[in-house]
């Protein structure tokens, strides 16, 4: 049984990932302190690790077959764990994609190892769904519109990652992909949409991530739009304030104030609202020379559930097959057939896809 070392095992994503892989891996959970939540896990043992201490990190990683990093914020962790894993030639998995989109970090990594990054909800699941649609549901995928919406209570670490992620790599706000070009959206403000599966109209703003650009270019998606829900006004204001701080002061100078905004966000009340999240994808293209339009929805209660599913899929791939050295997104190593098998096991109330006869309504 392969040994997977999880750094940040006591966090929400770390625990969800451990539950997803405990049936086919031995798990070494790493954190600064032992947590009672570990007692419910199978094939699990704990070892203290301090990822800011290289000796501690090396001792933790040295006897593992795969390293999964669930610690953050990504902008603080950077390549600390990835570099140690790479030096030991141990395949590395991360829910963040910073080691791929940050060119300086990417260049500094040992090049004779495997890195699978962005193995979470978004990035991660979004790219897998688009690959499946492009490779299994269409011969030509001409137009894709994706909407991410829901109510989630993020951790302070996740808040910081959202802020820094908005300016990372090639990602662009108010933009969409078209035939290899990144163009400005026609509507630069907030758009409103309602869907059959939602009870009310929701507000969205466009944002094109590195993963979406990568997915569209690799699977010949002619035009791709991605819209994020901006329903939580207080969070949106704190995020925008943090982005402005980042742009005006730079990463190191702004980090303290961004962390303070993260604390403010953590103290916001959700008024006892239940958490939920959806990725909705509307497609237009051709199959067997016939025009086709479709609606796809993937639902979870908490986004860490989706992270656990994607991490499980990636680690199972690394356990069962040898992957060539390189830096990948999950959609690069998981085949369309494997994605289809994965989706076939998702409960019907969590995954829906069907053809539609109507014209897709342009936002």
- Residues 51, 52, 54, 59, CA torsion sign: negative
pTM above threshold 0.85: yes
Is the same domain home to 134 and 111?
A: no
Is the same domain home to 108 and 130?
A: no
Is the same domain home to 282 and 349?
A: yes
Q: What is the pLDDT of residue 153?
A: 78
Neighbour count for residue 309 (Cβ, 10 Å) = 24
Contact (CB, 8 A) for 325 and 305: no
The CA distance from 30 to 45, in Å, is 9
Q: Answer yes or no: is 236 within a domain.
A: yes
Query: Which residue reads 């939580």 in tokens?
Result: 232
Is the same domain home to 113 and 15?
A: yes
Q: Answer yes or no: is 327 within a domain.
A: no
Query: Which residue reads 């699990």 in tokens?
Result: 44
Is the same domain home to 111 and 178?
A: no
Q: What is the pLDDT of residue 360?
A: 45
Q: What is the pLDDT of residue 359?
A: 53
Looking up residue 77, the CATH number of its domain turns out to be 3.40.50.720
Q: Which residues contact 40 (CB under 8 A, 6 or more apart)?
A: none
Q: What per-residue string of b and e applies to 270-285 under the rule 16 or more CB within 10 Å gives b?
A: eeeeeeebbbbbbbbb
Contact (CB, 8 A) for 131 and 339: yes
Q: Answer yes or no: is 360 within a domain.
A: no
Is the same domain home to 81 and 185?
A: no
Lateral strand order in the sheet of 326-328: 44-48, 26-31, 3-7, 66-69, 92-94, 114-116, 326-328
Q: What is the pLDDT of residue 57?
A: 96
Which DSSP symbol is given to 39? G
Identify the CA nearest to 315 among candidates 14, 102, 51, 78: 14
Looking up residue 168, the CATH number of its domain turns out to be 3.30.360.10
- Residues 39, 45, 47, 49, CA torsion sign: negative
The CA distance from 68 to 301, in Å, is 23
The CA distance from 241 to 163, in Å, is 9
Q: Answer yes or no: is 322 within a domain.
A: no
Is the same domain home to 147 and 40?
A: no
Strand duo 114-116 + 140-151: pairing: unpaired
Is the same domain home to 290 and 164?
A: yes
Last residue of one domain, picked from the residues 85, 117, 149: 117
The CA distance from 329 to 305, in Å, is 19
Q: What are the residue ranges of helices labelled H in the chain?
A: 12-21, 54-61, 74-77, 80-87, 98-101, 103-108, 125-132, 156-165, 210-218, 233-249, 251-266, 303-320, 330-333, 336-344
Q: Answer yes or no: is 328 within a domain.
A: no
Is the same domain home to 113 and 129?
A: no
Q: Which domain holds residue 197?
A: 125-302+338-355
Last residue of one domain, picked from the residues 88, 117, 146: 117
Q: Answer yes or no: is 88 within a domain.
A: yes
Is the same domain home to 247 and 98?
A: no
Residue 98 CA, distance from chain mean position: 11
Is the same domain home to 198 and 347?
A: yes
How does pLDDT run along the chain (363 residues), one tens digit per residue? 899 999 999 888 999 999 999 999 999 999 988 888 899 999 999 999 999 999 999 999 999 999 999 998 888 899 999 999 999 999 999 999 999 988 999 999 999 999 999 999 999 999 999 999 999 999 999 999 999 998 887 888 888 888 887 776 666 888 999 999 999 998 777 889 988 878 889 899 999 999 999 999 999 999 999 999 876 777 888 888 888 888 888 888 888 899 998 888 888 876 677 888 999 999 999 999 999 999 999 999 989 999 999 999 999 999 999 999 999 999 999 999 999 999 999 998 999 999 987 554 433
**How many domains is the chain built from?**
2
Q: Answer yes or no: is 194 within a domain.
A: yes
Q: Answer yes or no: is 171 within a domain.
A: yes
CA distances from 109 to 64, 113, 133, 151, 325 (A): 19, 9, 32, 36, 12
Last residue of one domain, picked from the residues 62, 91, 117: 117
Contact (CB, 8 A) for 274 and 326: no
Identify the CA nearest to 95 among candidates 5, 161, 23: 161
């Amino acid at each position: 049984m392969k040994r997977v070392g999880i750094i940040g095992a006591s966090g929400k994503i770390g625990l969800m990932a451990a539950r997803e892989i405990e049936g086919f891996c031995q798990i070494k959970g790493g954190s600064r302190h032992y947590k009672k939540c570990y007692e419910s896990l199978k094939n699990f043992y704990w070892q203290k690790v301090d990822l800011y201490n290289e000796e501690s990190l090396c001792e933790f990683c040295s006897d593992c077959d795969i390293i999964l990093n669930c610690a953050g914020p990504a902008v603080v962790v950077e390549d600390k764990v990835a570099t140690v894993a790479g030096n030991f030639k141990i395949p590395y998995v991360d829910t963040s994609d910073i080691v791929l989109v940050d060119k300086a970090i990417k260049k500094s990594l040992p090049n004779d190892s495997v890195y699978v990054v962005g193995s979470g909800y978004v990035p991660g699941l979004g790219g897998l769904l688009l690959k499946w649609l492009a490779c299994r549901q269409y011969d030509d995928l001409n137009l894709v519109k994706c909407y991410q919406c829901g109510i989630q209570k993020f951790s302070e670490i996740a808040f910081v990652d959202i802020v820094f992620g908005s300016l990372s790599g090639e990602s662009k706000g108010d933009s969409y992909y078209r035939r290899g070009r990144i163009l400005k959206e026609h509507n630069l403000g907030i758009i409103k949409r309602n869907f059959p599966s939602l009870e009310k109209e929701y507000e969205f703003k466009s944002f094109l991530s590195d993963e979406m650009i990568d997915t569209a270019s690799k699977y010949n998606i002619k035009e791709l739009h991605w819209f994020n829900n901006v329903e939580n006004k207080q969070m949106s204001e704190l995020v925008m304030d943090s982005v402005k701080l980042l742009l005006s002061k730079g990463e190191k100078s702004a980090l303290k104030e961004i962390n303070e905004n993260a604390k403010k966000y953590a103290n916001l009340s959700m008024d006892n609202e239940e958490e939920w999240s959806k990725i909705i994808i509307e497609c237009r293209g051709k199959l067997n020379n016939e025009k086709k339009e479709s609606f796809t929805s993937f639902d979870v209660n908490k986004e860490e559930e989706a992270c656990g599913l994607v991490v499980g899929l990636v680690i199972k791939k690394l356990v069962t097959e040898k992957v060539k050295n390189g830096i990948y997104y999950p959609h690069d190593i998981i085949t369309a057939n494997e994605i289809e098998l994965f989706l076939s096991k998702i409960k019907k109330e969590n995954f829906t896809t069907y053809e539609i006869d109507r014209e897709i309504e342009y936002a």
